[in-house]
Amino acid sequence: MIRYGIIGTGMMGIEHIQNVLNIDGAEITALADPNKSSLELARGLLPINSKVTCHGDYREIIKQGVCDAVVVASPNMTHHGILMDLMDTGLHILVEKPLCTTVEQCNEIVDKYNNRSSKFPNRIVWVGLEYRFMPPIARLIQEVANGVVGELKMLAIREHRYPFLQKVDNWNRFNRNSGGTLVEKCCHFFDLMRLIVGSEPIRVMASGGQDVNHLDELYNGERPDILDNAYVIVDFENGARALLDLCMFAEATYNQEELAATGNLGKIEALIPENIVRIGRRGKHFVGNIDSYKVESHQVGYEGFHHGSSYIQHLEFLKAITSTGPTMVSLIDGMKAVAIGIAAQLSIAQGRPIEMGEVFGHSN
């Protein structure tokens, strides 16, 4: 039985709690959050006879030694400090996206992890980029890797969705706390780009703004500064290019996410929450005549907010812990997803393409 601690019991903390409660071989033994209401809500989800301990300070979880693994689901700007402390322990770690809010902070975590490895071998540190595990997206990733579209040339990702939800103390309304919309929300998609394209980004060009959402909100005399729409183009070393089309005032839609990967032999699409994958092969299919599949997973024991992907991620995280198997989403993956987001934010702010080398050497 693997014992879990949850650091941060807001919306995503609750999601992780529900996942763990539905997984055999896992139990929750500690919760931490400085917000009493969030902590009490989370405690109420656990069985009455649960021996879970609750704390206002995450450091108490470390001191107690009652956990084998921790999930960090606290606000983005707290990740760096919490992870630096956790790296001094032998705990397995799953940290919610984004890894940190700057590349410098991400690199500090990577360095601390590398130094930790000799003292605590076979300890997993996993970044919560769970979109990889959405069944239709996982199918698209597999088909592209199997060569169905041939040599991948273009990847288009569209997310048309609702505005950012309200969080405790409205921390997610400001770039300084979240890293900015293209870090906070879109690191998921930049991670998918690297994974699907199978290459590293070299250049980012973006256009975006805050045009609709949060314009009338005021917090301690300060207006939110987060983007609510953007187009982001990423050029890769292997010559492929990827596009993100983000709109956060488009809740009047059917599919929230749509991915299209196109190569010299064909095209594959993944549609969510329709959970449809469409495959068209050049020479066999034509416009309006392609193969279409309904894609679901029997692994999903809890649907949650992300179509079961968080649950599948937890299954893989637990498997990695118990079998010393591979970490499927590494700290490097987390850092590079953040870096592309920061490059996109800089491109919008400065009105020019950003070379990735600038970001890795840029002081944020």
- Clarify whether residues 182 and 258 are in a common domain: yes
Instruction: Provide the pairing of β-strand 241-247 with 257-263.
Output: unpaired
Q: Is residue 10 part of a domain?
A: yes
Least confident of 10-19, 210-219, 222-231, 296-305: 296-305
Q: Is residue 260 part of a domain?
A: yes
Instruction: Encode pLDDT of 281-290 as tens digits.
Output: 999 999 999 9
CATH of the domain at 212: 3.30.360.10
- Clarify whether residues 292 and 318 are in a common domain: no
- Clarify whether residues 125 and 162 are in a common domain: no
pLDDT for 190:
98
Instruction: Provide the pairing of β-strand 69-72 with 201-209.
Output: unpaired
Task: Flag whether pLDDT at 224 surpasses 60.
Answer: yes
Q: What is the domain count for the chain?
A: 2
pLDDT band per the 50, 70, 90 thresholds, residue 261: very high
Q: Is residue 363 part of a domain?
A: no
Q: Is residue 324 part of a domain?
A: yes
- Clarify whether residues 125 and 245 are in a common domain: no
pLDDT for 28:
97
pLDDT for 302:
80
pLDDT for 364:
40
Instruction: Encode pLDDT of 288-324 as tens digits.
Output: 999 999 998 878 878 778 888 999 999 999 999 999 7
pLDDT for 363:
41
- Clarify whether residues 320 and 343 are in a common domain: no
- Report, as an integer, the average pLDDT of 137-166: 97
pLDDT for 305:
80
pLDDT for 301:
78
> How many C-beta atoms surround the C-beta of residue 277 within 10 A?
23
CATH of the domain at 68: 3.40.50.720
Measured between alpha carbons, how far is residue 302 from residues 23, 266, 299, 308, 323 in Å?
Answer: 9, 34, 9, 6, 23
Measured between alpha carbons, how far is residue 72 from residues 93, 186, 210, 248 in Å?
Answer: 7, 19, 29, 25
Contact (Cβ atoms closer than 8 angstroms) between residue 128 and residue 313: yes
- Clarify whether residues 183 and 320 are in a common domain: no
Instruction: Encode pLDDT of 62-113 as tens digits.
Output: 999 999 999 999 999 999 999 999 999 999 999 999 999 999 999 999 999 9
pLDDT for 340:
98
Residue with tokens 């992870």: 83
Q: Which domain holds residue 21?
A: 2-130+314-330
- Clarify whether residues 274 and 167 are in a common domain: yes
- Clarify whether residues 118 and 136 are in a common domain: no
Q: Is residue 308 part of a domain?
A: no
Q: Is residue 99 part of a domain?
A: yes
Q: What is the pTM of this model?
A: 0.96
- Clarify whether residues 150 and 287 are in a common domain: yes
- Clarify whether residues 96 and 162 are in a common domain: no
pLDDT cut 90: percent of the chain above it: 91
- Clarify whether residues 148 and 80 are in a common domain: no
Q: Is residue 305 part of a domain?
A: no
- Clarify whether residues 275 and 322 are in a common domain: no
Contact (Cβ atoms closer than 8 angstroms) between residue 93 and residue 321: no
**CA 284, CA 100: separation in Å to the nearest integer?**
46
**CA 349, CA 209: separation in Å to the nearest integer?**
9
Q: Is residue 21 part of a domain?
A: yes
Judged by DSSP in three states, 248 sits in coil
The mean pLDDT of the chain is 95
Percent of the chain that is helix, strand, coil (3-state, to 5): 35, 25, 40
